[in-house]
Amino acid sequence: MTEGQKPTSKIVVLISGSGSNLQSIINACEENNIDAQISAVISNKYNVKGLDRAAAANIPSIVIDHHAFETRQAFDQYLAEVISGFTPDLIILAGFMRILTEEFVNQFVGKLINIHPSLLPAYPGLNTHQRAIEAGDRTAGATVHFVTPELDGGPSILRAQVAVLENDTSDALAARVLTIEHQIYPTVAQWFCEGRIGMKDGIVFFDGVQIDKLGLLFTPQSEH
């Protein structure tokens, strides 16, 4: 994107907590590494650091407290209405700790992405780092994937690996994985905004070519 040129894509980011991945997206947009503008940050919790990050970047933020809704469906329906009001091209889940209903996901399928702190399909759900350590895995990592109704089951786009060290703790491993999350999530967001990636019938295409079901493998020297 050249100086003075307006971003071509609009992003909405959903958070529930500290928003470190949100910050990586904010930074990439500000540095013109993502050709997009974050239209809104939406949290299902009050008083989380991610809201402070949005405020610091002058990004509108909204809190939709899921406790205010009688059912998961009612929350998701209202959330979908709010998101649709921003007409986003891409919706990014950045530590959004809600399991979304099938109706919600299907409304935005193909432009809804998530990052998961494991090398999917290994260790969907929670406590991924401890599970990797207890299994004796030599590598761990993170995966950016399209969201489908199956929890952490959408097709992978990009993953990155770190070594599991001897006597590693889940906190130490989590910190190293988070560092690579902050690299691969903005990368995928830019690919999407450039029109380089897409999903059709549950299959991911990169530059028009079907990729491996495990996704592309990121390295710091990646030329993608």
Q: Which residues form the catalytic set?
A: 116
CA pair distance 26, 34, nearest whole angstrom: 9
Candidates 69, 76, 65; CA nearest to 107 is: 76
CA pair distance 117, 127, nearest whole angstrom: 9
